[in-house]
Amino acid sequence: MIIRIVKMTFKAEKVSEFQQLFIESKELIRNMPGCSHLELLNDIHTPELFFTYSYWNSENDLNNYRNSEVFANVWSRTKVLFSAKPEAWSVEQKIVV
């Protein structure tokens, strides 16, 4: 399993727009083959800072999503709202707690 973490910082005036976009898109992403979990996290001290946290069955499933029309549509609408360059990590759990 791959866990994908994406850090995104938005223009303050665009936070509501992003949240609405996430609400509209979340089920499309969750229903992509290989996606078993998706959530949106918001920093408790910086309202413009968000993280998406998603589980993918394999790196191939993640890459298929990243090459999909769903991703292209969501990302093109999201990236114009940023105030800083996004960062992303693909990680896997090594020790089960």
Least confident stretch, 4-13, 52-61, 72-81, 87-96: 87-96
Please report the DSSP string for the chain in residue order. Answer: -EEEEEEEEB-GGGHHHHHHHHHHHHHHHHTSTTEEEEEEEE-SS-TTEEEEEEEES-HHHHHHHHTSHHHHHHHHHHHTTBSS--EEEEE---S--
pLDDT of 95 above 90? no
- Percentage of the chain with pLDDT > 70? 100
Q: How many CB atoms lie within 10 A of CB 94?
A: 5
The mean pLDDT of 63-74, rounded to a whole number, is: 98
Domain boundaries, the chain: 2-91
How far apart (Å, rounded) are the C-alpha atoms in residues 17 and 10? Answer: 10
Return the residue matching tokens 């090459």.
Answer: 67
The mean pLDDT of 44-67, rounded to a whole number, is: 98
Question: 2-91, which class in CATH?
Answer: alpha beta
The answer to whether 57 and 37 are in contact (CB under 8 A) is no
The mean pLDDT of 82-95, rounded to a whole number, is: 96
